[in-house]
């Protein structure tokens, strides 16, 4: 094993050096005048070919290699693979921007997406490794007995993984289309090809070694711009240590900028526009639309019939009529936009200080206190859901089946969190550094000399970044900037004054993050269908070749289905991700943890607990989340003011309670099940004849 | 399958360390966040203390919890004869 481990280290060191040289060569090519578009293509083609190459080199027809990489992955490398598997497009591209926009309250994602690994380490990883089959439904099926529990596991695994994979493929489409100019839909399928070649040929084995390669790309791509920005601002290349000082400066600037009379003027204009829009919406969109249109026409007529017609004024009035909303629907959208403009993209009113937790809003002190308490409770609920969801998402838990031993599984959770930590403790630093830059280099500058990157990103897409002179004073005020959270990471190389090749590198990093997560998720879904449903329930006599073939067919079908759904551009991606965590937490966590730590937990309890937990979460989302209530499902009041993204709190509580109560009311499980529990609790028991690991094959 | 007194001691010690680490995890996460407003005036090397904890401090504690658990359990495995390297 040691030699294999050393060989891997040598191999990936060569790879890292090779990758860095590739970036340097492209950097030189850029200096020599190679157009940017080609650099974008070079990154896209090189990385996807690389992943495909690893897939071809790791192709396999062995069942254990296909499902669990032959259980040969050393702790360190499994940690890297888990890191890439874990960090999605949302972590890489969206998170720092989310922190930029939300300040302290956004840190729920940082804590939630790391602290969950404590639960994985203490409650699950070593025991699942000792059990050692292929999937999470495998464990549920063996521990609670029968295909019914397994089926619930399969369905829950498919729901949460599918929701999550759509979000990843969306990220792939976004990056490829932005950096290569391909259509969004074509970008989706190019990315998909990269995922498929890899997992199709080598299953878990190929996915594992690709994920290690992807981790290296994504961490290099994330660190270079942050470090450079930190050198620019503080002269010290370790942003994570020094950004406390920058945060203090940002807090000072916030006070000054918000108190500026010009800033107040902009906010007043936006508030007034919002009020007008609200009134018009109240009067009915169609009525207001017709009234506004008639008024414009009337004005033109009036100008024309004046004794001495003013040509310029007529032209201006005609222009405003021709650019007026072309139908009621567009008009209504504009009004709604104006209504929310005061709180759009970082333009929060009143401004929230970056470092202050749970800022309450309201007219009286009592209202403020109440809204602040609600924010705190939602923060705690979100952290809880993300943590418990982490310890329940099948594509992550599955990774701990691939280590050579129980002890390696424990160490591997350590490496997983360590590698995730490297990115997660840099994201809050990046948010603060970018905020400082925008406060000093954009706000207060004349529109004529905006930094070059602001103009460049505005030109690409107004929804990503737009700076408009609302009070017409020619100077940028804070509330005149609207930015989308994705732009923070994507624009950092330009903010830091780095060459375009680093922007390409960041895009390649985002692509690696999205592809690696999508890989793991697609494999989870295909395995649930081929291994748990087909082999364990429909055709237990299937030959190993047939099982792998079936798995590949499912992989293809699921991938195409996910790409199809993604191409429809379903709404709120962040909500989808949050929903996946709440669903996984309430379906799996109670059944898995009680299954290991409480021998008394039995089959009726698992069935009712999983169904009720999942049911409560789905019910709460359906009745409170606007997407569903707009479809005609009756809306209900929030429980304890917890937002729908935190619905897992209720689901997990309901699932746990149900399991305990039902277990105590029904018969204790049979002796062989209790023996199984003992079996997974100890890494090795002398004289233990049970061998759960080989039963999967 | 025969479990000895050794095994029961092993499992009890495992539960103890799991509980202790879980309490630390709970304090670093939920107790800290619950009192974030009250702690906000404390300055920690330039950061407001709760901001530092949520952005970095608690993460370091998580990494340490997992690292310590892996180290402790390996020792416990060997001491109680349940380590995978031990002969049958």
**Three-state SS sequence of A611-640:** HHHHHHHHHHHHHHCHHHHCCCCCCCCCHH
Q: Is B26 on the interface with A (CB under 8 A)?
A: no
Q: Is B76 on the interface with A (CB under 8 A)?
A: no
Q: Is A685 on the interface with B (CB under 8 A)?
A: yes
Residue A2 has what pLDDT?
61
CB pairs < 8 Å spanning A and B: 150
Residue A661 has what pLDDT?
97
Rounded Cα distance, A491 and A499, in Å: 12
Hey, what long-range contacts does A540-547 have (CB within 8 A, 24 or more apart)?
Answer: A544/A61, A544/A62, A544/A63, A544/A697, A545/A61, A547/A63
Average pLDDT value over all residues in chain A:
89
Q: Is A695 on the interface with B (CB under 8 A)?
A: no
Give the phi and the psi of residue A352 in degrees, each rounded to 5. -100, 120
Proportion of chain A above pLDDT 90, given as a percent = 53
CB A412 within 8 A of CB A403: yes
What is the arithmetic mean of pLDDT over A102-113?
A: 94
Are B34 and A380 inside 8 Å of each other by CB? yes
Task: Looking at the complex, report in whole angstroms how far the Cα of residue B63 sits from the nearest Cα belonging to chain A.
Answer: 6
Q: Summarize pLDDT for A339-368 with one digit per residue, the tens.
A: 777 777 667 766 788 989 998 888 899 999
A244 contacts on B by Cβ (under 8 Å):
44-47, 52
Task: Looking at the complex, report in whole angstroms how far the Cα of residue A461 sits from the nearest Cα belonging to chain B.
Answer: 31
Strands (E), B1-88: 43-44, 47-48
Which residues are bridge partners to B47 per DSSP?
B44
Q: Which residues contact A42 (CB under 8 A, 6 or more apart)?
A: A26, A504
Strand, helix or coil for residue B43:
strand
Count of C-beta atoms within a 10 Å radius of residue A670: 12
Place B86 in a pLDDT band, splitting at 50, 70 and 90.
low
Residue A349 has what pLDDT?
67
Q: Summarize pLDDT for A152-204 with one digit per residue, the tens.
A: 999 999 988 998 888 888 888 888 877 777 788 888 887 788 778 778 888 99
Rounded Cα distance, A130 and A139, in Å: 11
CA atoms within 13 A on the CB side of A228: 16
Rounded Cα distance, A557 and A158, in Å: 13
Which residues are bridge partners to B44 per DSSP?
B47
Are B46 and A356 inside 8 Å of each other by CB? no
Q: Is B7 on the interface with A (CB under 8 A)?
A: yes
Of residues A11, A24, A408, A19, the one with CA closest to residue A219: A19
Rounded Cα distance, A449 and A95, in Å: 29
Give the phi and the psi of residue A191 in degrees, each rounded to 5. -60, -40
Rounded Cα distance, A51 and A207, in Å: 9
Count of C-beta atoms within a 10 Å radius of residue A356: 18
Out of A122, A356, A411, closest to residue B18 by CB: A122
Residue B73 has what pLDDT?
97
Are A684 and B82 inside 8 Å of each other by CB? yes
Please measure the distance between the N-terminal and C-terminal CA atoms of chain B and give it in whole angstroms.
Answer: 13
Q: Which residues contact A572 (CB under 8 A, 6 or more apart)?
A: A627
Q: Is A599 on the interface with B (CB under 8 A)?
A: no
Q: Summarize pLDDT for A299-309 with one digit per residue, the tens.
A: 888 888 888 87
User: Cα B55 vs. chain centroid, distance in angstroms?
Assistant: 19
Q: Say whether pLDDT at A316 is over 80.
A: yes
Residues 79-108 of A with CB under 8 A from B: 104, 107-108
Are A358 and B47 inside 8 Å of each other by CB? no
Residue A635 has what pLDDT?
87
Rounded Cα distance, B21 and A61, in Å: 42
Of residues A67, A55, A18, the one with CA closest to residue A547: A67
Residue B87 has what pLDDT?
45
Which residues are bridge partners to A482 per DSSP?
A466
Residue B88 has what pLDDT?
41
How buried is residue A296: exposed, middle or buried, by Cβ count under 10 Å (0-12/13-18/19+)?
middle
What is the arithmetic mean of pLDDT over A601-630?
A: 92
Are B50 and A104 inside 8 Å of each other by CB? yes
ipTM for the assembly? 0.96
Q: Is A418 on the interface with B (CB under 8 A)?
A: yes
Establish whether the linkage from the previous residue to A350 is cis, with ω within 30° of 0. Answer: yes
Strand, helix or coil for residue B80:
coil
Strand, helix or coil for residue B48:
strand
Task: Looking at the complex, report in whole angstroms how far the Cα of residue A5 sits from the nearest Cα belonging to chain B.
Answer: 18
**DSSP of A467-533:** E--SS-SSB--GGGEEE-THHHHHHHHHHTT--HHHHHHHHHHHHHHHHHHHHHHHHHHHHIIIIII
Task: Looking at the complex, report in whole angstroms how far the Cα of residue B27 sits from the nearest Cα belonging to chain A.
Answer: 12
Q: Is B31 on the interface with A (CB under 8 A)?
A: no
Out of B21, B48, B66, closest to residue A414 by CB: B66
| A240-256 as b/e: b if 16+ CB within 10 A | bebbbbbbbbbeebbee
Q: Which of B2, B35, B56, B61 to mutate to test the interface with A (most CBs of A within 10 A)?
A: B56
Out of A114, A248, A380, closest to residue B59 by CB: A114
Residue A11 has what pLDDT?
92
B33 contacts on A by Cβ (under 8 Å):
111, 357, 376, 379-380, 383
Please indicate whether residue A54 or residue A185 has the higher confidence score (pLDDT).
A54
Element (H, E) at A466: strand A465-467
CB A47 within 8 A of CB A511: yes
Out of A110, A121, A384, closest to residue B54 by CB: A110
CB A454 within 8 A of CB A442: yes
Place A328 in a pLDDT band, splitting at 50, 70 and 90.
confident
Q: Which of A241-245, A494-498, B1-5 has the lowest mean pLDDT?
A: B1-5
- Could you tell me if residue A481 is left (phi over 0), alpha (psi between -120 and 50 degrees) or otherwise beta? beta
Q: Summarize pLDDT for A225-281 with one digit per residue, the tens.
A: 999 999 999 999 999 999 999 999 999 999 998 889 998 899 889 888 888 888 888
If you count them, how many residues does chain B have? Answer: 88
Q: Is B23 on the interface with A (CB under 8 A)?
A: no
Q: Summarize pLDDT for A367-402 with one digit per residue, the tens.
A: 999 999 999 999 999 999 999 999 999 999 999 999
Are A424 and B59 inside 8 Å of each other by CB? yes
Q: Is A405 on the interface with B (CB under 8 A)?
A: yes
Q: Which of A683, A687, A693 to mutate to test the interface with B (most CBs of B within 10 A)?
A: A683
Element (H, E) at A252: helix A239-259
Residue A463 has what pLDDT?
80
Out of B30, B67, B83, closest to residue A684 by CB: B83
CB A338 within 8 A of CB A277: yes
Count of C-beta atoms within a 10 Å radius of residue A382: 24
């Amino acid at each position: 094993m040691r030699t294999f481990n050393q060989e891997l280290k040598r191999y990936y060191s060569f790879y890292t050096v090779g990758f860095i040289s590739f970036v340097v060569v492209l950097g030189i090519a850029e200096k020599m005048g190679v157009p940017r578009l080609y650099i974008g293509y070079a990154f896209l083609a090189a990385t996807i070919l690389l992943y495909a190459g690893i897939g071809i080199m790791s192709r396999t027809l062995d069942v254990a290699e296909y499902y669990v990489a032959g259980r040969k992955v050393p702790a360190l490398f499994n940690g890297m693979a888990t890191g890439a598997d874990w960090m999605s497009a949302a972590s890489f591209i969206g998170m720092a921007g989310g922190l930029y926009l939300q300040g302290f309250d956004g840190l729920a994602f940082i804590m939630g997406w790391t602290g969950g690994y404590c639960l994985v380490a203490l409650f699950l990883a070593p025991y699942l490794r000792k059990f050692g089959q292929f999937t999470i439904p495998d464990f549920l099926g063996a521990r609670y007995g029968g295909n019914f529990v397994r089926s619930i596991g399969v369905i829950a695994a498919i729901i949460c993984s599918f929701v999550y994979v759509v979000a990843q493929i969306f990220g792939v489409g976004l990056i490829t289309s932005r950096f290569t100019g391909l259509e969004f839909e074509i970008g989706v399928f190019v990315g998909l090809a990269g995922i498929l070649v890899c997992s199709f040929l080598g299953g878990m084995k190929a996915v594992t070694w690709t994920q290690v390669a992807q981790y290296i790309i994504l961490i290099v791509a994330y660190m270079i711009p942050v470090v450079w920005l930190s050198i620019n601002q503080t002269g010290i290349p370790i942003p994570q240590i020094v950004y406390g000082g920058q945060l203090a400066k940002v807090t000072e600037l916030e006070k000054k900028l918000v108190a500026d009379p010009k800033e107040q003027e902009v906010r007043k204009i936006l508030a007034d526009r919002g009020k007008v829009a609200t009134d018009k919406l109240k009067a009915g969109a169609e009525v207001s639309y017709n009234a506004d249109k008639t008024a414009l026409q009337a004005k033109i007529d009036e100008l024309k019939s004046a004794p001495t017609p003013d040509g310029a004024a007529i032209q201006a009035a005609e222009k405003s009529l021709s650019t007026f909303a072309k139908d009621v629907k567009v008009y209504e959208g504009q009004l709604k936009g104006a209504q929310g403009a005061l709180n759009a993209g970082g333009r929060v009113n009143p401004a929230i200080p970056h470092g202050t937790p749970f800022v309450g809003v309201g007219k009286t002190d009592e209202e403020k206190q109440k809204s602040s308490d609600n924010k705190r409770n939602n923060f705690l609920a979100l952290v809880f859901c993300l943590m418990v969801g982490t310890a329940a998402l099948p594509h992550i838990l599955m990774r701990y089946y691939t280590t050579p031993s129980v002890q390696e599984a424990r160490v591997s959770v350590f490496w997983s969190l360590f590698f995730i930590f490297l990115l997660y403790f840099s994201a809050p630093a990046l948010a603060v550094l970018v905020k400082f830059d925008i406060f000093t280099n954009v706000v207060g500058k004349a529109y004529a000399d905006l930094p070059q990157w602001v103009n460049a990103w505005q030109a690409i897409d107004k929804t990503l970044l737009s700076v408009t002179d609302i009070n017409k004073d020619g100077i940028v005020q804070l509330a005149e900037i609207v930015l989308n959270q994705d732009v923070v990471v994507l624009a950092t190389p330009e903010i830091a004054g780095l060459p375009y090749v680093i922007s390409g590198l960041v895009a390649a990093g985002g692509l690696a993050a999205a592809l690696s997560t999508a890989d793991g998720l697609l494999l989870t879904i295909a395995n649930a269908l081929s291994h748990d449903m087909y082999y364990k329930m429909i055709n237990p006599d299937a030959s190993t070749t047939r099982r792998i073939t079936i798995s590949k067919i499912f992989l293809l079908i699921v991938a195409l289905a996910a790409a199809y759904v993604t191409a429809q551009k379903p709404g709120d991606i962040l909500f989808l991700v949050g929903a996946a965590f709440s669903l996984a937490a309430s379906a799996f966590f109670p059944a898995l943890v009680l299954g290991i730590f409480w021998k008394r937990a039995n089959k009726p309890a698992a069935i009712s607990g999983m169904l009720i937990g999942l049911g409560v979460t789905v019910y709460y989302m359906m009745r409170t989340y606007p997407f569903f209530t707009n479809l005609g499902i009756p809306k209900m009041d929030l429980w304890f003011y917890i937002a729908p993204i935190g619905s897992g709190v209720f689901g997990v509580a309901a699932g746990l309670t149900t399991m305990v109560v039902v277990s105590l009311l029904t018969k204790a499980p049979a002796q062989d099940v209790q023996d199984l529990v003992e079996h997974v609790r100890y890494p090795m028991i002398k004289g233990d004849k049970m061998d759960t690991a080989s039963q999967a094959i | 399958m025969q479990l000895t007194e050794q095994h029961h001691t092993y499992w009890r010690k495992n539960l103890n360390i799991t509980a202790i680490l879980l309490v630390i995890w709970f304090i670093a996460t939920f107790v800290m966040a619950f009192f974030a407003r009250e702690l906000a005036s404390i300055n920690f090397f330039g950061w407001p203390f709760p901001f530092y904890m949520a952005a970095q401090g608690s993460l370091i504690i998580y990494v340490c919890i997992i690292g310590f658990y892996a180290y402790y359990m390996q020792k416990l495995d060997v001491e109680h004869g349940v380590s995978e390297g031990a002969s049958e």
